[in-house]
A and B are shown apart, each in its own frame.
Chain A
Amino acid sequence: MHFWYSLVDLLLPFDWMQYGFMKNALLGVLLVTPIFGLLGTMIVNNKMAFFSDSLGHSALTGIAIGVILGNAFPLLNIKPIWSMMVFSVLITIAILVVKEANTASTDTIIGVFSSSAVALGLVILTRNGGFNKYSGYLIGDFLSISPADLLLLGIVFVLVILLWVLIFNKLLLASMNPSLARSRGIKVKQYEYLFAVMMAVIVTISIQWVGILIISSLLVIPAASSRNIAKNMRQYHIYSVLIALVSGLSGLILSYFWGTATGATIVLITSGFFALTFGLKLRLG
Chain B
Amino acid sequence: MKHPICVNSDCKICESSLCCTKINNFGVKRSGIEILKNVNLHIHCGDLTAVIGPNGAGKSTLLKAILGEISHTGELQFLDANNGTTKPSMGYVPQKLDLDSTSPTSVLDLFAAAYTNLPIWFTYPKKIRERVRESLALTHGEHLINKRLGELSGGELQRVLLALALDPVPHLLLLDEPVSGIDQKGLELFYQTVSTLRKNYDLSIILVSHDLNLVAEYANRVAFVNNRTIECCGTPQEVFTNEKVIQTFGLDWSNRFQRVEKDRVANALLV
Check A179 against B67 for contact (C-beta < 8 Å): yes
Identify the stretch in A23-31, A67-75, A180-188, A210-218 within 8 Å (CB) of chain B at 4 or more residues: A180-188
Identify the stretch in A133-141, A161-169, A252-260, A266-274 within 8 Å (CB) of chain B at 4 or more residues: A161-169
Interface of A is mostly: helix
Q: In chain A, what residue has the closest Cβ to B124? A: A234
Check A233 against B91 for contact (C-beta < 8 Å): no
Which residues of A lie under 8 Å from residue B30 when comparing CB positions? Answer: 102
Which residues of B lie under 8 Å from residue A183 when comparing CB positions? Answer: 67, 90-92, 165, 170, 174
Beyond A165-B122, A182-B67, A227-B104, is A177–B112 a contact (Cβ under 8 Å)?
no
Identify A168's interface contact among B69, B92, B119, B161, CB under 8 A.
B119
A227 to B104, CA, bound (A): 6
Check B120 against A177 for contact (C-beta < 8 Å): no
Which residues of A lie under 8 Å from residue B105 when comparing CB positions? Answer: 172, 176, 232-233
Check A169 against B116 for contact (C-beta < 8 Å): yes
Q: How far is the CB of B170 from chain A (nearest CB, A)?
A: 8
Which residues of B lie under 8 Å from residue A179 when comparing CB positions? Answer: 63-64, 67, 69, 92, 94
CB under 8 Å from chain B, chain A span 227-265? 227, 230-237
Which residues of B lie under 8 Å from residue A33 when comparing CB positions? Answer: none
A179 to B164, CA, bound (A): 13
Is the C-beta of A147 less than 8 angstroms from some C-beta in chain B?
no
Is the C-beta of A41 less than 8 angstroms from some C-beta in chain B?
yes
Q: In chain B, what residue has the closest Cβ to A101? A: B31
Which residues of A lie under 8 Å from residue B116 when comparing CB positions? Answer: 169
Which residues of B lie under 8 Å from residue A164 when comparing CB positions? Answer: 119, 121
Is the C-beta of B114 less than 8 angstroms from some C-beta in chain A?
yes
Q: In chain B, what residue has the closest Cβ to A172? A: B113
Identify B106's interface contact among A168, A170, A232, CB under 8 A.
A232
Check A231 against B90 for contact (C-beta < 8 Å): no
Q: In chain B, what residue has the closest Cβ to A169? A: B113
Check B104 against A231 for contact (C-beta < 8 Å): yes
Is the C-beta of A153 less than 8 angstroms from some C-beta in chain B?
no
Is the C-beta of B252 less than 8 angstroms from some C-beta in chain A?
no
A183 to B94, CA, bound (A): 10
A232 to B170, CA, bound (A): 28
Which residues of B lie under 8 Å from residue A227 when comparing CB positions? Answer: 102-104
CB under 8 Å from chain B, chain A span 184-230? 184-185, 188, 226-227, 230
Is the C-beta of A173 less than 8 angstroms from some C-beta in chain B?
yes
Which residues of B lie under 8 Å from residue A103 when comparing CB positions? Answer: 31
The chain B residues found within 8 Å of chain A, CB to CB, are 30-31, 63-64, 67-69, 89-92, 94, 97-100, 102-106, 108-110, 112-114, 116-122, 146, 148, 161, 164-165, 170, 174
The chain A residues found within 8 Å of chain B, CB to CB, are 38, 41, 45, 47, 102-103, 164-166, 168-170, 172-173, 176-180, 182-185, 188, 226-227, 230-237
- Could you list 7 A-B pairs, sorted by A, with CB under 8 Å? A166-B119, A169-B113, A172-B109, A180-B92, A182-B69, A233-B121, A235-B104
List the 6 closest pairs (A to B, CB-CB), nearest first. A183-B92, A237-B121, A230-B104, A169-B113, A232-B106, A236-B104
